[in-house]
Amino acid sequence: MQQSQRWIRFERAGKTGFGTLDGKHVREHRGDMFAAPEPTGSVLALDELKLLTPTQPTKVIALWNNFHALGEKLQLPVPAEPLYLLKAPNSFHAAGEPIRKPLCEGKVVFEGELGIVIGKTCAAVPEDKALDRVFGYTCANDVTVADILNRDASFAQWARAKGFDTFCPMGPVVATGLDPATLTVTTLLDGAARQHYPISDMRFSVQQLVSLISADMTLHPGDVILCGTSVGVGSMKPGSLVEVEINGIGRLSNRFG
């Protein structure tokens, strides 16, 4: 397994950059984050940087009913294959930035999730090769207007319910060299833990997700697969602080409204 590093993207003096997080400093790199990036030698203070989304995905894929605990609680049938949707690019959002309250009314819920970050282009990759295409992992919040989902009996509105501006916070970093089966997702609402679940409870493992989804569509470096969520999803009120913490990665914090 590769050495663990935490990669971060940032804006400084009107220019974007990236590097590795080392405590309260960032060691700047140049080139391609996914293809032998080189250190510039510059060390920047983290508090002087504006955080960006940890990658620039061509798409973010979000799973439904991928955890045994939540599927059993909701009495959902066991899926034969991954069930997923796409999050709209306008929803991609950085750590620390506010989640915008939609102009429409409805219950807005948080869903703390693990994000798989693709590092190499892959199409129909075999399961035993899938982890070679994974660069690392990030924290994500798959925000949803729950009331919209099934409001029209003839059409489930997944794209709209999950596609509002700012509805896909990710970050603050991409962590490499982790074993996803050992990770745990904790979601806090105003400091109180609302979700705490192991990634090992997934119906489809990381390698299965990458393999099966890449059979449908080509995955590119920087693309993110959100692994789905488990029990404890709840609603946010204007002013609420939602934090998604995953051991080995860090904590994604965004305030709602």
Both 129 and 213 in one domain: the answer is: yes
How would you write the pLDDT of the chain (257 residues) with one tens digit per residue? 567 899 999 999 999 999 999 999 999 999 999 999 999 999 999 999 999 999 999 999 999 999 999 999 999 999 999 999 999 999 999 999 999 999 999 999 999 999 999 999 999 999 999 999 999 999 999 999 999 999 999 999 999 999 999 999 999 999 999 999 999 999 999 999 999 999 999 999 999 999 999 999 999 999 999 999 999 999 999 999 999 999 999 999 999 99
Q: What is the per-residue burial (b if ≥16 Cβ within 10 Å, else e) of 110-144?
A: bbbbbbbbbbeebeebeeeebbebbbbbbbbbbbb
Both 27 and 92 in one domain: the answer is: no
Both 82 and 5 in one domain: the answer is: no
Structurally, the chain folds into a number of domains equal to 2
CA 254/CA 87 separation, integer angstroms: 18
CA 61/CA 83 separation, integer angstroms: 10
Both 2 and 90 in one domain: the answer is: no
**What is the extent of the structural domain holding 10?**
1-52
Both 201 and 75 in one domain: the answer is: yes
Both 48 and 60 in one domain: the answer is: no
Both 31 and 93 in one domain: the answer is: no
Both 106 and 207 in one domain: the answer is: yes
Both 57 and 98 in one domain: the answer is: yes
Both 47 and 57 in one domain: the answer is: no
Spell out where 207-249 has E strands.
224-226, 234-235, 241-246
Both 87 and 130 in one domain: the answer is: yes
Both 38 and 81 in one domain: the answer is: no
CATH of the domain at 59: 3.90.850.10
Q: Can you give the pTM of this predicted structure?
A: 0.97
